């Protein structure tokens, strides 16, 4: 029925950078450093690497096997290998992308707003009061809207002309900025205290199932797994990519940036910022502690602030693009709208859905817990079962690249027998945390 040939990435590098662009985002710069600092420091970092290797890379390969194998968007791809009864999972993926983007774009709007301030006025006055003023209400909606306009424009431009092109320009730039700022931060007086706050090891913390399950859902969020984003991106590949190698490169780059983000953020805050803000909220440190640090820094504060918020914005943008692409690809495949129409209409609906989050940070937190944690763990569990037990011969699909990858049989055994029970356990803890959060809201 669909006569237009399916879009494809222009190059292997383009695909990798777009996938890294999806992975690297606010999750790296904002969630990861704080989880690490609060949950055992360097010990958490090792636990995280372990979980990325144990479940992150296997689930990424599962998504690649389905996406590249079917060359379809999530709903159709699941039906392709598993029959109609798997369509609801695809619908859940699309709903997840929709919901995650709705609040993600609100936070991304703040990054744009702060970038604007860094460029035009600098940061003066009371940073906490400023954050309170711009993070909710009309201001937040305005910047959220602007951010969505940029995202929609790029997705409307298509795989090669929009998504790939922006990733090829933006991702190397992002990496250089984060690296440069981390090196700069190491020269500051507070660097030692910042590193200590970030990495001081506490092994007791990591031997808790709560921390284990947080590390797992953080790995899914950071690697964009569990809702079909990597599945969708891999559906635009030609057959000859070596998927296991790409998965390791993508996961490794994502970890590297998350780790560097911690090395950048904490020394800056401990040198000049309001380190008391750290315990209060994780968002607070980025949007309150750092602007304060930039204001205190004198002449260098302005360029450093501009670079920092530019990097945050770029990370958020390339991630938001992938979230919108999941929804748009599904609409193109099912309703058969042209790409531009799908991007515009779905983008507008997602923007509207984000307005409650822009008015109330509690709503933002709840949607994050449900769509950004719970859905992903559940989605990843279903993906493991699907690829391990339903899809015919996923190993053959992953071997199409030609190279023999010795560990693929190991991967398959893992995805069948180890990942599902592990994720069931994580799911239990995630459901419990979600429940507690909701009860806490009503119980006061
Ligand atoms: N990985 C991105 C980040 O770390 C967010 C993101 C983009 C995402 N696409 C996703 C999260 C798909 C879950 C699923 O900020």
Per-residue pLDDT, 367: 96
CA 302 to ligand 1 center in whole angstroms: 29
Whole-number Cα distances in Å, 424 to 108, 130, 217, 384? 32, 42, 12, 11
The Cα angle at residue 286 between residues 258 and 203, in degrees rounded to 5: 50
Predicted confidence band of residue 1 (pLDDT cuts 50, 70, 90):
very low
Nearest ligand 1 atom to alpha carbon 227: 14
CA 230 to ligand 1 center in whole angstroms: 10
Between 242 and 272, residue with greater pLDDT: 242
Mean pLDDT value across residues 250-278:
85
Indicate whether residue 28 lines ligand 1 (CB < 6 A).
yes
Between 299 and 183, residue with greater pLDDT: 183
Indicate whether residue 216 lines ligand 1 (CB < 6 A).
no
> With contact defined as beta carbons under 8 Å apart, do 424 and 381 qualify?
yes
CA 179 to ligand 1 center in whole angstroms: 21
Pocket test for ligand 1, best of 322, 368, 375 (most atoms within 8 A of CB): 322
Mean pLDDT value across residues 362-366:
92
CA 126 to ligand 1 center in whole angstroms: 31
At the topology level of CATH, where does 12-442 sit? Hydantoin permease (1.10.4160)
Nearest alpha carbon, ligand 1 atom 10: 224
Whole-number Cα distances in Å, 164 to 21, 62, 126, 157, 223? 10, 22, 40, 10, 18
Q: Which two tokens stand for residue 203?
A: 């092994």
Between 240 and 59, residue with greater pLDDT: 59
Burial 277-307 (b: 16+ CB within 10 A, else e): bbeeebbbbbbbbbbbbbbebeeebbebbbb
Whole-number Cα distances in Å, 388 to 107, 139, 433? 36, 47, 28
Per-residue pLDDT for 31 more than 90?
no
Whole-number Cα distances in Å, 48 to 52, 88, 118, 374, 425? 6, 31, 33, 18, 17
Indicate whether residue 230 lines ligand 1 (CB < 6 A).
no
Contacts (Cβ under 8 Å, ≥6 apart) of 216: 51, 55, 377, 422, 423, 426
Where along the chain do its domains lie?
Answer: 12-442
d(CA 16, CA 18): 5
CA quadruple 330, 332, 333, 336: dihedral sign: positive
DSSP, collapsed to helix, strand or coil, labels residue 337 as coil
Between 444 and 432, residue with greater pLDDT: 432
d(CA 97, CA 94): 5
d(CA 81, CA 230): 17
Largest CA distance in the chain: 64
- pLDDT by residue (tens digit) across 369-400? 999 999 999 999 999 999 999 999 999 999 88
CA 422 to ligand 1 center in whole angstroms: 22
d(CA 96, CA 82): 20
- pLDDT by residue (tens digit) across 432-443? 999 999 998 887
Predicted confidence band of residue 239 (pLDDT cuts 50, 70, 90):
confident
Residues in the chain, overall count = 444
> With contact defined as beta carbons under 8 Å apart, do 305 and 294 qualify?
yes
Pocket test for ligand 1, best of 18, 19, 27 (most atoms within 8 A of CB): 27
Indicate whether residue 59 lines ligand 1 (CB < 6 A).
no
Predicted confidence band of residue 353 (pLDDT cuts 50, 70, 90):
very high
> With contact defined as beta carbons under 8 Å apart, do 287 and 251 qualify?
no
Nearest to 214 by CA among 383, 434, 421: 434
Nearest ligand 1 atom to alpha carbon 230: 12
Pocket test for ligand 1, best of 100, 320, 377 (most atoms within 8 A of CB): 100
Per-residue pLDDT, 126: 83
Q: Which helix (H) or strand (E) holds 317?
A: helix 301-334
């Amino acid at each position: 029925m669909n006569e237009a040939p399916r879009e494809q990435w222009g190059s292997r590098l383009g695909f990798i950078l777009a996938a890294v662009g999806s992975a690297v985002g606010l999750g790296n710069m904002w969630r990861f450093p704080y989880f690490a600092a609060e949950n055992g420091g360097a010990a958490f970092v090792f636990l995280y690497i372990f979980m990325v290797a144990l479940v992150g890379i296997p689930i990424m390969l599962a998504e690649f096997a389905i996406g590249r194998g079917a060359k379809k968007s999530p709903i159709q791809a699941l039906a392709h290998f598993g029959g109609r009864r798997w369509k609801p999972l695809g619908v859940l993926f699309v709903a997840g992308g929709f919901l995650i983007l709705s609040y993600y774009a609100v936070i991304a709007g703040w990054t744009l707003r702060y970038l604007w301030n860094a460029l035009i006025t600098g940061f003066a006055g009371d940073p906490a009061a400023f954050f309170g003023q711009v993070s909710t209400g009309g201001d937040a909606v305005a910047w959220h809207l602007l951010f969505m306009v940029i995202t929609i424009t790029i997705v409307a431009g298509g795989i090669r002309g929009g998504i790939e092109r922006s990733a090829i320009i933006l991702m190397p730039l992002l990496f250089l900025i984060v690296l440069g700022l981390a090196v700069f931060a190491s020269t500051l007086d507070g660097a030692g205290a910042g590193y200590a706050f970030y990495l001081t090891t506490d092994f007791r913390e990591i031997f808790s199932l709560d921390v284990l399950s947080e590390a797992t859902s953080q790995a899914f969020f950071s690697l964009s797994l569990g809702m079909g984003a990597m599945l969708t991106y891999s559906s635009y590949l030609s057959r000859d990519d070596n998927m296991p190698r790409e998965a390791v490169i993508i996961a490794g780059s994502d970890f590297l940036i998350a780790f560097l983000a911690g090395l950048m953020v904490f020394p800056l805050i401990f040198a000049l910022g309001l380190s008391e803000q750290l315990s209060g909220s994780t968002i607070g440190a980025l949007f309150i502690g750092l602007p304060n640090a930039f204001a205190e820094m004198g002449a260098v504060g302005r360029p450093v602030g501009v670079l920092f918020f530019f990097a945050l914005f770029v990370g958020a943008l390339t991630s938001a693009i992938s979230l919108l692409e999941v929804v748009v690809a599904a609409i193109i495949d099912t309703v058969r709208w042209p790409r531009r129409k799908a991007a515009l209409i779905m983008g507008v609906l997602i923007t509207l859905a984000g307005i409650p989050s822009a008015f109330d940070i509690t709503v933002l937190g709840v949607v994050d817990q449900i769509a950004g944690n719970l859905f992903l763990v559940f989605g990843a569990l279903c993906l493991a079962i699907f690829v391990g037990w339903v899809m015919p011969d996923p190993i053959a699909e992953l071997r199409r690249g030609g190279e023999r990858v010795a560990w693929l049989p190991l991967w398959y055994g893992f995805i069948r027998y180890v990942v599902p029970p592990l994720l069931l356990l994580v799911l239990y803890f995630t459901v419990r945390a979600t429940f507690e959060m909701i009860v806490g809201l009503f119980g006061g």
